[in-house]
């Protein structure tokens, strides 16, 4: 299905011309009650989309597009567990992990059992009854995984810093290792006491190069530090590939399953989150699932105009396809949410970075955008200049916790003021006349004022949405991530692409193996040719190993 052939799409294309000269601020004048009407609530979140370049008519046409692609039916198929991941012939049921629905799903008992095992393990490690090979309690959890086997739990562990029972005592410390860059695991292990260390190897396939390499290094380290010890109590594996985990040496009772119907970037709700349950307590993990379940229910039941993920997705389709937005910024005004953009990068870009439709036909539109971001208010001192006066069109999500978890006077008021101030400034802009008046009022002489005026004006009319949380809690974090998961699904549903596969990454892995064989000059290895440019740098690498 080529969405650009649909009348609803063509209607939006015509409408794009209509809105060319519209000012967002004018829309507030033209549409009494715009603020209230475009402040949506659902799943515990508040989503203010009033500062977007979308009139009442725009939203109406966008929701018509949703109907034109039978988005409600596609959503129902997703929740039913239909084969929505066509290229891998799989369902996508990350919702099952937090809602237990669809009821009666054949995997539901194993999902429930795995959650129970997570509770047992996390409580045993926390109460000290899980002991290492020398009888000492665990004080360090090393999570080894990459991509979806890392980003989600790493982000959540940081975001929920205030929900670590022993944040101040540091009684159980977590160390997340993902990169094959040996510098990281080298430093992590150097500081640890092996007898008190539990290594959790997380890999859906249990074949990922980075994870295998880091797990083997961790195993070697444990063997060296605890010679002759029974290492079984120092390893847990989380995988769909139970055989590979067993071959690696993890005992079956210390191996927790994953399922093919849960994509890596959608898996933080599974045993991938075990280290989080250990360091933050199982209840915190359970509450995060509950928050996501609340967003699942909202997404599955809310009508289009009040549906947070659907509305967010349609706005992204609007900007991506009709304003040629190249990127989308997510700016959390909360220090401990600063890793959220990295998680969302994989979620959005690995899901939507496609060029063919579900039925393998060339995609007629550009799908997905480059998602990036950084913590507010720091970004104001780093990249906001481009957002204000650059010639790029960058839609922004500001994420704003309304209540602080600290009691320090003044800080949160300033944080909120900065967030709202940016959103207003981006929308309002600053005209040449306003700049001239400001310069005159400050006594700047006319010559300097005339010279400075063009440098100080802001075009404005730059859209942003504000996602307000009451405060960062396990529930609101769960709802926020589920919001973005369903936003991704809705965008893919409009474009008729598969958001649940990632065939593209396999080719890069294949070339890496080819270059590795060349570097190793292993005669047994398949010495397939590499490009001359690559050969040149392999030579450079070789020379660097034996400096004169
Ligand atoms: O190569 C990309 C990818 O497959 C991601 O989709 C996944 O989250 C990551 O690698 C890790 O995969 P695994 O959990 O199988 O180690």
Each residue of 249-303: pLDDT tens digit?
999 999 999 999 999 999 999 999 999 999 999 999 999 999 999 999 999 999 9
Distance 111 CA to ligand 1 centre (A): 20
pLDDT of 548: 77
Q: How confident is the model at residue 525 (pLDDT cuts 50, 70, 90)?
A: confident
Lowest mean pLDDT across 268-282, 313-327, 369-383, 518-532: 518-532
455 CA distance to ligand 1 middle (Å): 46
Strands 370-373 and 327-332: parallel
Q: pLDDT tens digits, residue range 416-449? A: 999 999 999 999 999 999 999 999 999 999 999 9
Of residues 117, 132, 142, the one with CA closest to residue 232: 132
Give the span between the Cα atoms of 97 and 108, in whole angstroms. 8
Of 381, 406, 455, 506, catalytic: 381
Q: Distance between CA atoms of 60 and 12, rounded to whole angstroms?
A: 10
Place of tokens 């598969």: 498
pLDDT at 1: 87
Please say if the pLDDT value at position 166 is more than 90: no
Q: How confident is the model at residue 528 (pLDDT cuts 50, 70, 90)?
A: confident
Going from the Cα of 7 to the center of ligand 1, the distance in angstroms, rounded, reads 38
| pLDDT mean over 50-67 | 98
Nearest CA to ligand 1 atom 16: 203
- What whole-number percentage of the chain has pLDDT above 70? 100
Query: Mean pLDDT of all residues in the chain?
Result: 97
* Closest-lying ligand 1 atom to the alpha carbon of residue 272: 14
- pLDDT value of residue 207: 94
Q: Is 41 a catalytic residue?
A: no
Distance 338 CA to ligand 1 centre (A): 22
Q: Which residue puts its alpha carbon closest to atom 6 of ligand 1?
A: 264
Q: From the alpha carbon of 145, which atom of ligand 1 is closest?
A: 16
Which of 147, 151, 342 to mutate to test ligand 1, by most ligand atoms within 8 A of the CB atom? 147
pLDDT greater than 90 at residue 150: yes
Mean pLDDT of 130-142: 98
Residue minimizing CA distance to atom 9 of ligand 1: 147
Is 548 labeled as catalytic in the residue annotation? no
* pLDDT above 80 (res 517): yes
| Ligand 1 residue neighbourhood (C-beta within 6 Å) | 146-149, 203-205, 208, 211, 264-265, 350, 502, 505
- Residue 169's pLDDT is what? 76
Is residue 524 over pLDDT 80?
no
- The mean per-residue pLDDT over the stretch 384-401 comes to 98
Please state the atom number of ligand 1 nearest to the C-alpha of residue 149. 14
Of the residues 509, 531, 535, 543, which is catalytic?
A: 509
Please report which confidence band the pLDDT of residue 135 belongs to, taking 50, 70 and 90 as the band edges.
very high
Does the pLDDT value for residue 167 go beyond 80?
no
Residue 203 Cα to ligand 1 midpoint, Å, equals 7
Is 381 annotated as catalytic? yes
Q: Is the pLDDT of residue 84 over 90?
A: yes
The mean per-residue pLDDT over the stretch 91-112 comes to 96
Q: CA 431 to CA 424: how far, in whole Å?
A: 14
Going by pLDDT thresholds of 50, 70 and 90, the confidence category of residue 239 is very high
Active-site position among 210, 348, 350, 475 = 350
Mean pLDDT of 374-398: 98
- Report H helices in 326-402: 340-345, 351-352, 384-389
The rounded Å distance from CA 340 to ligand 1 centre is 18
Buried b (16+ CB within 10 A) or exposed e, 328-354: bbbbbbbebbbbbbbbbbbbbbbbbbb
pLDDT of residue 225: 98
Q: How many CA atoms lie within 13 A of 33 on its CB side?
A: 2
């Amino acid at each position: 299905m080529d969405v650009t052939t649909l009348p609803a799409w063509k209607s939006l294309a015509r409408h794009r011309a209509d809105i060319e000269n519209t000012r967002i601020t004018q829309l507030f004048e033209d549409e009494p009650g715009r603020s209230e009407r475009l402040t949506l609530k659902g799943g515990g979140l508040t989503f203010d989309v009033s500062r977007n370049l979308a009139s009442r008519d725009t939203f109406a046409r966008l929701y018509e597009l949703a109907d034109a692609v039978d988005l409600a039916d596609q959503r129902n198929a997703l929740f039913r567990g239909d084969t929505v991941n066509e290229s891998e012939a799989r369902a996508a049921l990350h919702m099952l992990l937090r809602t237990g629905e669809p009821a009666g799903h054949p995997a539901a008992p194993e999902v429930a059992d795995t959650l129970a095992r997570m509770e047992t393990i996390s409580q045993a490690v926390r109460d000290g009854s899980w002991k290492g090979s020398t009888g000492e309690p665990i004080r360090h959890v090393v999570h080894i995984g990459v991509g979806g086997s890392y980003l989600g739990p790493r982000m959540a562990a940081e975001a929920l810093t205030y929900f670590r029972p022993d944040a101040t005592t540091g009684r159980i410390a977590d160390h997340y290792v993902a990169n094959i860059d040996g510098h990281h695991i080298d430093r992590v292990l150097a500081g640890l006491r092996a007898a008190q260390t539990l290594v959790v190897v997380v890999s859906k396939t249990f074949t990922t190069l980075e994870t295998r390499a880091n797990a083997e290094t961790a195993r070697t380290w444990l063997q060296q530090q605890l010679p002759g010890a029974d290492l079984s109590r120092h390893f847990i594996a989380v995988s769909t590939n139970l055989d590979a985990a067993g071959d690696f040496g993890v005992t079956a009772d210390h191996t927790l399953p994953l399922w093919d119907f849960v994509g890596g970037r959608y898996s933080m709700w599974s045993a991938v989150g075990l280290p989080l349950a250990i360091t933050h307590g199982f209840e915190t993990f359970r509450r995060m699932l509950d928050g996501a379940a609340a967003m699942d229910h909202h997404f599955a039941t809310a009508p289009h105009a009040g549906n947070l993920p659907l509305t967010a997705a349609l706005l992204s389709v609007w900007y991506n396809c009709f304003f040629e937005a190249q990127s989308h910024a997510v700016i959390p005004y909360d220090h401990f949410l600063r890793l959220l953009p990295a998680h969302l990068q994989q979620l959005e870009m690995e899901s939507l970075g496609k060029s063919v439709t579900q039925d393998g036909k060339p995609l007629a539109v550009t799908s997905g955008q480059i998602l990036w971001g950084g913590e507010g208010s720091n970004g104001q001192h780093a990249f906001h200049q481009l957002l204000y006066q650059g010639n790029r069109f960058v839609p922004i999500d500001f994420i704003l916790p309304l209540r602080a978890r600290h009691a320090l006077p003044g800080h949160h008021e300033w944080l909120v003021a900065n967030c709202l101030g940016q959103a207003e400034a981006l929308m309002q802009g600053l005209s040449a006349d306003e700049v001239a008046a400001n310069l005159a009022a400050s006594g700047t002489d006319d010559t300097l004022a005339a010279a400075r005026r063009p440098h100080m004006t802001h075009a404005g009319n730059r859209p942003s949405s504000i996602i307000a949380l009451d405060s960062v809690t396990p529930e609101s974090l769960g709802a926020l991530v589920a919001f973005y998961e369903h936003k991704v699904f809705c965008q893919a549903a409009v474009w008729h692409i598969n958001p649940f596969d990632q065939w593209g990454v396999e080719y890069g892995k294949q070339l890496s193996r080819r270059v590795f064989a060349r570097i190793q000059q292993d005669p047994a290895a398949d010495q397939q040719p590499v490009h001359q440019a690559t050969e040149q740098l392999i030579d450079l690498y070789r020379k660097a190993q034996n400096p004169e």
